[in-house]
Structure 1
Amino acid sequence: MDSWNRIRNRVRDAAPALEASDASPEFTATAVIIGLCIGCLLCFTNLYFGLQTGWISMMSLQSALIGYLISRMLPLPLTPQQIIVVQTTAVATGTMPLAAGFVGILPALGLLDETRDGVGPLNLSWIATIAWSCSIAFFGVFLSPPLRKQVIIEEQLAFPSGTATAQLISVLHDMPPPDTTVRRRAGYSPIDDNESIQAPSTIRPDSPSGYSAIPTSSEIDAPRTLKEREDIRQTGWRALGYSFLASSAMTLAAYFFPVIFAVPLFGTYLAKNWLWTFTPSLSYVGQGVIMGFPTTLSMNLGMLVGWAVLSPLANLNGWAPGPVGDMTTGSRGWILWVSLAIMCADSLVSLIPVVVDYLSAYTRPNASHAKEMEHETETEDRLVPTRWVLWGLGITIPLGVLLVWIVFGAEGIKPWATFLAFIFGMLLSVLGVRALGETDLNPVGGLGKLAQLLFAYLQPSSVVASIVAGGVAEAGAQQAGDLMQDLKTGHLCGASPRAQFYGQLIGSSVSIVVTTGVWEMYKRAYPIPGTTFPAPSAWVWLGLARLLRDGSLPEKSQLFMAVFALIFAVSAALKTYAGRRQHPYAKYIPSGIAFAIGFLNTPSFSLARLVGGLTEYLYYRRRKDSGDITLVIIASGFVLGEGVVSIVTLLLRTYGVGAASCWGCSSGMCAGCLA
């Protein structure tokens, strides 16, 4: 303990609480292989859930948990710094479905209509999909090192999710909690050293991003006995194993008897005519636990307004006369526009203080002095050299421009326009990372929409250019933000930034092949977008591209878009103001992002997540133990179970094995009946 106290005192001003041992290498084959295995599981689950609901999970905390549990089975358990390499590699592998646009951009291109858009559906071949993924897979990775120096080392932004993961790792390894003292810029109050930062795991919609709030502990500061450590390991494995098996069994049963996931809880009339069903999926319950009660509450408020008020209003008044579920003429497509207005208003207002802070940092009289301050505690051999960053960007950007030109041709997006998209993406990455560091919210979807706005002016007649340019800009901001959370964890736990950088590159490289392979299987087995995988984010991308080109909107939607945009602009301003001043009620101000996602998804998904959110709230309220991670482990097993078994059901679908029975599906709305 004395040695740890000396370390903490020596580096307290620079933030890290732990240092890696020079005798213990961090970047090892074991750590990378474990990280890739976990990352592939996350990749499967993220593609599956992203195509269903538009949300994916970074799951950095879950990666660290599973990596720790696996590590304890090895003859020589991994060190905390090696666990961070596991986590970083897993996150880089698992988030490719969003970074490369598999849950939004690619399905949107497949929805193009030659009569309306001037070009038919673009369904990329597998080699073209790999080329597209390669064009943007490494852009954000090379942006991370210079951004780390600015926002983590110099400004010491909070990055609550990364900090919470570091706290968990310190608890699991019997280490003193990391020093989370944060020196904020002018106008901010410091986070107290004993304050527990909440938000360990991230669940993001493909459009903007939302983050969870699961309690973690920074209270345990004494070593546990060998028996206590063994009890934690055994309990963790049992919780993860049983929850994984339960979710897997339920998912497989729902494949053969689809009504299990389409329960007409509110009656067959509402189920058939207004899409009000309930999906008792354990994975969605688990996601609700990870997201936390405030976020799931915001989502369900949006669901009630969108599906119980606006959808009937649009349909009964003839503004959306088609079938309710039709994205073109039905009320589901009509309320999508209101959702888009909420997302854009919330994202843009949330970015305003970040931009103001960024500009003011260079206009204050002492700005030059502040920029000269150096708080780096790592040695040069553990950092990513600047020349690597310059060479990396110098290669990846021209290569990305070339690959995009090869895939889409000059008729899709001009090479000069793609180059500008990369440059614009670099600027937006700075804003996204700063927003993430301050608020734990990375509004990547909103940033992508900003890129679409720019290219509506630069290449106004091309829907393809708008979508692709937005995807390029979003990829950089999303990757840089995700990796910055991992770098914050590594900084607090004394992990080598260079070792994490290697893990990021390897994870992204492997994920290109894995994600493309699974994507091709999904395309062959299911129509995308379709009943089973509606890909709601694709309609958002395509809808905005069409709007910016020809300005047409469904009847009366303009009025509701303006009203809701104004409401959530005010809401975002209040939430940002309260959050920056640490007001306890800030988390209960409705999140515009989560509210809008309640519009995009049918009620069944939101209701199941509310069950998880309520479970999380009641569990921690009764136990009063912020260090208890059992519920987090169970939720992780639920999510991973359905995601992994989705590959099994995908293979069954590919080989022609369908539902065993549609018994009980009187509403006719279950996936088995409509596939």
Structure 2
Amino acid sequence: MERNPSKRREIEEEEIVGEVITGRGEEEEEEDGDKLKGELAFMKTTVLPWTKQITLRSIVTSFILSIVFNFIVCKLNLTTGVIPSLNVAAGLLGFAVVGFYTALLQKIGFLKQPFTRQENTVIQTCVVASSGIAFSSGTASYLLGMSPKIAAQADGGNTPINTKNLSIGWMMGFLFVVSFVGLFSIVPLRKMMILKYKLTYPSGTATAHLINSFHTPKGAKLAKKQVSALFNCFSLSFAFSFFQWFFSTGENCGFANFPTFGLKAFQQRFYFDFSTTYVGVGMICPYLVNISLLIGAIVSWGIMWPWIEHKKGIWYSADLSDGSLHGLQGYRVFIAIAMILGDGLYNVVYMLIHTGCSLISQYMKKKDSTSIIPDDADFGSSSNNQIVDYDEKRRNEYFLKDQIPTWVASLGYIILAVISIIVVPLIFTQLKWYHILVAYLIAPILAFCNAYGCGLTDWSLASNYGKIAILVFSGWVGVGNGGVVAGLASCGVMMSIVATAADLMQDFKTGYLTLASPRSMFFSQVLGTAMGCVISPLVFWFFYKAYSVGDPDGSYPAPYGLMYRGIALLGVEGFSSLPKHCLKLSIIFFIAAIAINIISELLQRFETKYRIYRFIPNPMCMAIPFYLGGYFAIDMCVGSFILFLWEKTNKQKAKEFAPAVASGLICGESLWSVPAAILSLAGAKAPICMKFLSASDNAKVDGFLGN
């Protein structure tokens, strides 16, 4: 976070600055290097121009790490859709790779340019932008929802005009024409967001402090230990995944199907599946997220679905397959959608109100105050008495040094929007040019709201805006004209703009705090987006060809594919597509999601003694297990429990090393999926099937084999 020191603190820092400037000894300066805070620690470090902040080694490193992170995000997308923040891992690995490379070159005398925190920021920005495309590209949600395979599971709307066969070519083309528009939509507002309103952007701020700490002597030593912990856990996770593979030759074989709590609980999807990925995710996600997932699994698979299953033949036909949306699967999907929409609607309305109130407050403060934000030329002036904090003065100077002209951003948005208006209807004939035009007229407003709200709360509501776009455009086009595909494609257009705008502003905040040039931030975001538009579809296609992606009972169920298609069906068919009493239950859970959020907000504002709001579950998290079950929630709770015990024994060590350990666990198992997929494509099978049977079934098997 930005520092706002007291007068006493300001005087102390000015004294330190004076001591450094007036020429202390080099040895004494090195000893005090870690004691200096903020920009004082980097006073003697030269800030290179933006053209030298983006280097060949940073591009190569970003590309390699982008491939790694795209595999991780794609796997998480295709399994549960729960994706933690990977900024720490990106910054840490970027520091490790380039730090090793520069140290090696320095020893042999070929180092031409030292590794700076600005270059580290460029790498982190590029990698996160690329892996962000893996999420916003919709390969596991709205694009997958167009496929005939998902359409067959959804029953309604399964017509040729409402489906589209997936192809690597048109997916890449679509991503290229929609993913860059959002970058230009928010650039003109960067000074207002960062300097005028001083929005915190918690993730961007935390990432900046992390990178700044890496490039101090003490931080570099800690980073090396963190990297070591990350690679040790990566090796263990990869080796354990390899070991598990030997026991998984057939269906329902292996450790992933271990009936931890008994066979009855296993049938209701309650078991620990030995996934180091989700143990690591659980260590990164807040405790409340993991507990919310577990509560959602208990409410749905422990109570509701067994109860509704007893209504088979009464509420729905007993002849329907398990995957039919007119049967039990329909309740699972549409009640989950109702909770997601309820939570999303609340958060969108809350964020719009919060944004409006904040803007009004800022306007009133500006009106009542005599101090204003100076023009560009005033920053760094010796006569400027308004900026008394050394950090702020130095950061403002570099943030305003390399400007991106407003006319460039506006012209870029218009040109890219026109290209998109022409190309998108050629890819999706169900959409007309005026549909895309309307989306691009609305998108900048929503992009501003999302970026501003993200700066206040660290929430990016891009997926919620995308769901609203599905309902609006699918209903506008109609089922007979391909409204399902039109709604899903419009979700991609809207989601790409809104998500990219918030991500870019986060990066501007990170760059502001690390003195990285806005131009280097912008171009690294463009570069990362371009990498993501190529890597993300290729990685998805790798999984798509190697595994049965979208199978509810498979290793990669891709739950959001069916959920997003279900939202589109609601848009074109209304509530007639729901099974009996599903509408009533959906309304109840829709209202419950809003009520839970309101209760949590009221408690947070007015209840201070016991802080009960910390124990109110999150409706969005509760909704995810409604479709998938509780196995991954149990994995994540195990991760939380490990972190809890670690914090009890050594809180400081846990704070320093838990993110690195978690990242290693996630990376190891996620990257094992690459050789596993290659083995699958090559037709290689594991030699052993480890399966668990009840005593009666085992007696039957023994009797059969005995005969």
Fold conserved (TM > 0.5)? yes
**CA offsets per residue over residues 612-653 of structure 1, 9 Å max, x none?**
122223322432328842111111011111221211111111
1:514 matched residue in structure 2: 535
Where does 1:166-565 land on structure 2 (aligned, <5 Å)?
Answer: 166-174=208-216, 224=218, 229-230=220-221, 232-258=222-248, 259-271=254-266, 273-318=267-312, 319=315, 321=318, 326=323, 328-360=325-357, 366=364, 369=367, 373-374=373-374, 376-378=396-398, 380-409=400-429, 412-461=430-479, 462-530=483-551, 531-551=554-574, 552=576, 553-565=578-590
2:121 matched residue in structure 1: 84
- Alpha-carbon offset, residue 421 of structure 1: 2.2
CA contact (8 A) 2:646 2:654 kept: no
- Alpha-carbon offset, residue 144 of structure 1: 3.8
Q: Which amino acid aligns with 1:655?
A: A
CA distance in 2, matches of 1:582, 1:472: 41
Q: How many residues align?
A: 606
2:388 matched residue in structure 1: none
Match for 2:151 among 105, 112, 118? Answer: 112
- Alpha-carbon offset, residue 140 of structure 1: 2.1
Secondary structure of the structure 1 residue equivalent to 2:473:
helix
CA distance in 1, matches of 2:321, 2:198: 49
1:210 matched residue in structure 2: none
- Alpha-carbon offset, residue 362 of structure 1: 6.1
CA contact (8 A) 2:163 2:485 kept: no
**CA offsets per residue over residues 151-195 of structure 1, 9 Å max, x none?**
322212222222222222233223xxxxxxxxxxxxxxxxxxxxx
Secondary structure of the structure 1 residue equivalent to 2:260:
coil
Between 557-566 and 365-374, the greater mean CA deviation after superposition? 365-374
CA distance in 2, matches of 1:652, 1:5: 61
Indicate yes or no: 2:641 matched with 1:614.
Answer: yes
**Alpha-carbon spacing, 1:662–1:453, altered in 2? closer, same or farther (3 Å):** same
Indicate yes or no: 2:95 matched with 1:68.
Answer: yes
CA contact (8 A) 2:79 2:557 kept: yes
Between 241-250 and 360-369, the greater mean CA deviation after superposition? 360-369
CA distance in 2, matches of 1:159, 1:581: 25
- Alpha-carbon offset, residue 31 of structure 1: 2.0
State, as a whole percentage, how many aligned pairs show the same letter: 24
From the two aligned structures, give the one with the greater helix fraction.
Answer: 2
Secondary structure of the structure 1 residue equivalent to 2:83:
strand
**CA offsets per residue over residues 572-611 of structure 1, 9 Å max, x none?**
1233455578965544321122111232322211110111
1:102 matched residue in structure 2: 139
**Alpha-carbon spacing, 1:128–1:589, altered in 2? closer, same or farther (3 Å):** same
Between 569-578 and 648-657, the greater mean CA deviation after superposition? 569-578
- Alpha-carbon offset, residue 350 of structure 1: 2.1
Q: Which amino acid aligns with 1:261?
A: A
Between 141-150 and 579-588, the greater mean CA deviation after superposition? 579-588
**Alpha-carbon spacing, 1:612–1:419, altered in 2? closer, same or farther (3 Å):** same
1:661 matched residue in structure 2: 688
Between 241-250 and 425-434, the greater mean CA deviation after superposition? 425-434
CA distance in 2, matches of 1:573, 1:437: 21
Please identify the structure whose Cα radius of gyration is greater.
Answer: 2
Where does 1:40-79 land on structure 2 (aligned, <5 Å)?
Answer: 40-73=67-100, 74-75=102-103, 78-79=115-116
Superposed CA RMSD in Å reads: 3.0
- Alpha-carbon offset, residue 340 of structure 1: 1.4
**Alpha-carbon spacing, 1:322–1:64, altered in 2? closer, same or farther (3 Å):** farther
Q: Which amino acid aligns with 1:529?
A: G
Q: Which amino acid aligns with 2:272?
A: F
Q: Which amino acid aligns with 1:246?
A: L
Between 67-76 and 243-252, the greater mean CA deviation after superposition? 67-76
CA contact (8 A) 1:279 1:608 kept: yes
Q: Which amino acid aligns with 2:565?
A: L
What is the TM-score of this pair, normalised by structure 1?
0.83
Indicate yes or no: 2:566 matched with 1:572.
Answer: no
Structure 2 unaligned spans of 5+: 1-11, 19-37, 104-110, 249-253, 376-395, 698-707
- Alpha-carbon offset, residue 332 of structure 1: 4.1
**Alpha-carbon spacing, 1:421–1:23, altered in 2? closer, same or farther (3 Å):** closer
CA contact (8 A) 2:247 2:689 kept: yes
Between 148-157 and 641-650, the greater mean CA deviation after superposition? 148-157
- Alpha-carbon offset, residue 418 of structure 1: 1.9
- Alpha-carbon offset, residue 142 of structure 1: 2.0
CA contact (8 A) 1:108 1:539 kept: yes
Q: Which amino acid aligns with 1:422?
A: Y
**CA offsets per residue over residues 468-501 of structure 1, 9 Å max, x none?**
1122111222222233322222222222121111
Indicate yes or no: 2:206 matched with 1:164.
Answer: yes
CA distance in 1, matches of 2:413, 2:453: 23
**Alpha-carbon spacing, 1:164–1:368, altered in 2? closer, same or farther (3 Å):** closer
CA distance in 1, matches of 2:672, 2:356: 48
**CA offsets per residue over residues 368-389 of structure 1, 9 Å max, x none?**
7599745854455423222331
**Alpha-carbon spacing, 1:275–1:148, altered in 2? closer, same or farther (3 Å):** same
- Alpha-carbon offset, residue 430 of structure 1: 2.1
Secondary structure of the structure 2 residue equivalent to 1:574:
helix
**Alpha-carbon spacing, 1:661–1:355, altered in 2? closer, same or farther (3 Å):** same
**CA offsets per residue over residues 82-125 of structure 1, 9 Å max, x none?**
11111100001112121211110121001235973432641232
**CA offsets per residue over residues 536-572 of structure 1, 9 Å max, x none?**
0111111011112112212222222222222221221
Indicate yes or no: 2:633 matched with 1:596.
Answer: no
Q: Which amino acid aligns with 1:263?
A: F
CA contact (8 A) 1:282 1:638 kept: yes
- Alpha-carbon offset, residue 325 of structure 1: 5.8
CA distance in 1, matches of 2:142, 2:550: 12
Secondary structure of the structure 1 residue equivalent to 2:157:
helix
CA contact (8 A) 1:93 1:507 kept: yes
CA contact (8 A) 1:256 1:659 kept: yes
CA contact (8 A) 2:474 2:572 kept: yes
Indicate yes or no: 2:137 matched with 1:137.
Answer: no
CA distance in 1, matches of 2:15, 2:456: 29
Q: Which amino acid aligns with 2:124?
A: Q
CA distance in 1, matches of 2:411, 2:526: 14
Where does 1:19-38 land on structure 2 (aligned, <5 Å)?
Answer: 21-23=46-48, 25-38=52-65
Secondary structure of the structure 2 residue equivalent to 1:164:
helix
